[in-house]
Every structure is written in C-alpha cells, then in structure tokens.
Amino acid sequence: MANEYEKYISTFKQKVLEEYRPGIYGSGFKSLAKHFKIKGGHHLIMCWYRQWDGTVQSLNAKPRTGRPRTLTNEEVERYVLNFVETMNNQHKPVDYKMVQNHVEVSLNRKVAIATIKRYGRTECGITSRTTHEITTRDIDENHWIEIGKFRKFLQRISNDRLIFIDEIAIYGIMPPLRTLVAPGHQSFVIVDKPSAYAERFDFIGAINGSKPIACMTLTPVDRKAKDIQGVRKEVIHEWIIKSLAPAINRLNIDRVHLICDRSRAHNRAEMMQAFIMGKCKSVINVHYMPTASAKYISPLDNPIWHSFRETVRKQHPLTISNLPSILSRTFYSLSRDQIMNAYRKCAITYGTDVFYDQPFT
C-alpha cells in the first residue's frame, strides 16, 4: 500500500479520509496513519482533513509561490555566472564579494551577498576550489614544445639509465602540519624558535628509475666552514667524486645520462670532469632541463620532494644533530613504486603523452 501511494496523490488522500470515522475506535487519525503507513503520521492526515471538502479536487496540491526573486534568471546568468566565467578565463581570483560589487554596480541596487551565493550555488553550479599557481611561462606554447621534445628524448632512454639530481632546502624547525586535538584543547606545538629563524640545511639527492642512489646534507656548520651561502659548484663536484660516482659504479649500468636544472652549481663540463676524477665511466652526458621546467620533468622536484618533506616533518622534534641522519634515512627509504610513479607522473616513461599535464589543453 505504501509503495503504491508513495507520493500521496489526491485519490489516495481521498481514500484515507473516507475511512475516517470520528469517535469510532480504529478509524481515528492515528489508526489510519498506522494502517496506511503514512510517513507524516496522523498530523499529516489532519492537514488533509482541514483542506478536504469531500471532493478529490480539494486535495490537489496547491502551487507554492515561495519567496520573490531578487534577481531574474537572465540577471543571474548575465551578472553572476558570466562575470565568474570571465574572471576564470582571465585566470584571476574571484570571490562572492567581488561578484556582489559587480551585480550592485551593474543593477544600481543593493543585493544581499547570501542571495548571490544561493543563486551561484543552486542555479549556476559555481563552486569554490583551491587555487593552483601558474606563471605566464606555464601557458606559453613554445615552452611546452620544449618540454615535449625533452620528454620524448628521455622516453627513448631506459629509466634506470636516467639519473636525476636536485637540491632542496630543509629547515631545522618543521613541526607536523596537523595533530590530533582532544575536546577542549588547542593544536599548539612548542618549538625552540619561530620557523622563519630556523637553520637551513641544503639536501642533495640523486635517483634513477628504480632506487635512490646517493645524497648529501650541507649543514649550517658546513656552509660556515666553506664560507658559502648555499650549494655551489665546488660542493657538487666534491659530492660527485666522493659519493655519486662510486654509487653509480655500483649500479653496473652503462651509458647513463645525468639530468639536472640550469642552476649555477651545475656546470656540464666540470661535472663530467668530476665523474672522470671519480673513476666513473658510465655517465656519458649531462643534460639540462628546459628553463623553469623542473616541476614538470624532474621526479625529484615535484612528486618526491613534497612527500619527502612531509615524512621528515612527522619525525618531530628535529634537532641540528639528528636532522642529517633523518634526511639520509628518509631519502634511502624511498620505495621503487614511489620512484616509478614519480617518473610516470613526469611523463618520462615510454608511451606517456608528453602533453598530458599541459594547462588549458
């Protein structure tokens, strides 16, 4: 019965009310609600009864006018939706305060921001999303042609023969970004000093398509001893001779290509000379990624460094003495799947569309 009259059409209401007998046991509103399984209970039947004059037509649902519209459908589309679309096409941020100002200036009358939000959500399908920063270079067609060519070149080489090196800055004070908080407590974490004043550690890492190969941490003490402000050519060359070259030799892989960015610390001729001094003949060339393309091409720059930094954060508290060992241990714990997924995300795995992540395509 309930399934047959699920929408409570007028004829069903008539059938229920015809069974009503005032003062007779089993024929009251509560009994009818139970018998016919009315979801609204006896109160709903009472509402029907007050509306009923004995005819089916009197039980028809009356049209509801609702609240009067502040903006017509045309005005919503023209001044709300079209404005947001224009800002999106220009890749500019927009919020409802800006939309409200545009609507009020255009119509020369006040419109509540809550009303504009309701129209935006329910009628225009406008949602609020996290912004993603891009530069004008990121949407430059010639820039992506260079990225595509370099990715195609890398795809012709086995991933195990592609060694990427990159540097990242890690700070001595990096508390976890999130923590559990019990009711009535706050998410404060005590640190020795504000993060802005924490000591900087420069970390260098190298990976190929399946494993981490070598790494090095340049501490504040090291920088002071060498009288340098950061990673310099001399530091890279010393690391190649002492660590990276022997590590590559242990791989027993020939015809290796080293990939890096165009940092001043990366000089192709001097780096190749450092490999010779380190008795490593496997590296046949050093290749520079196109300018400002590391976040699209280097597995270290974007996919791995982010998770690497978050893993280090979770080992709070960090100290000047334990941070170098934590960095090294975390780097060498990178799994084969993590690295392979990073190579795949950077479209340097054979067969991947080299333009799959190009914005606005």
Instruction: Note the pLDDT tens digit of each residue in 96-150.
Output: 999 999 999 999 999 999 999 999 999 999 999 988 888 888 889 999 999 999 9
Considering the domain architecture, whether residues 221 and 154 belong to the same structural domain is answered as yes
Considering the domain architecture, whether residues 97 and 146 belong to the same structural domain is answered as no
Distance of alpha carbon 19 from alpha carbon 329, whole angstroms: 80
Considering the domain architecture, whether residues 54 and 100 belong to the same structural domain is answered as no
In this prediction, residue 4 has a pLDDT band, given cuts at 50, 70 and 90, of very low
Report if residue 360 sits inside a domain: no
Helix, strand or coil, per DSSP, at residue 147: helix
Q: Which two tokens stand for residue 39?
A: 């979801």
- Which of 84, 25, 134 is CA-nearest to residue 359? 134
Considering the domain architecture, whether residues 250 and 158 belong to the same structural domain is answered as yes
Report if residue 271 sits inside a domain: yes
Considering the domain architecture, whether residues 86 and 49 belong to the same structural domain is answered as no
Report if residue 135 sits inside a domain: no
Considering the domain architecture, whether residues 35 and 151 belong to the same structural domain is answered as no
**Is 36:1 a contact under the CB 8 Å cutoff?**
yes
Q: How far is CA 288 from CA 152, 163, 264, 293, in A?
A: 14, 12, 12, 10
Report if residue 9 sits inside a domain: yes
Report if residue 358 sits inside a domain: no
More confident residue, 78 or 197: 78
Picking from 8-17, 137-146, 296-305, which range would have the lowest pLDDT averaged per residue?
Answer: 8-17
- CATH of residue 173: 3.30.420.10
Torsion of Cα atoms, 150 then 152 then 155 then 156, to 10°: -100
Quote the DSSP letter at residue 139: G
Distance of alpha carbon 220 from alpha carbon 172, whole angstroms: 10
Over residues 42-60, the mean pLDDT reads 88
Domain containing residue 150: 141-346
**Model pLDDT, residue 7:** 66
How many domains does the chain fold into? Answer: 3
**Model pLDDT, residue 361:** 60
pLDDT averaged over every residue in the chain = 90
**Model pLDDT, residue 189:** 80
Work out whether strand 256-260 and strand 162-171 pair parallel, antiparallel, or are unpaired. parallel
pLDDT, tens digit (0-9, with 9 covering 90-100), for 22-39: 888 888 888 888 888 888
More confident residue, 327 or 35: 327
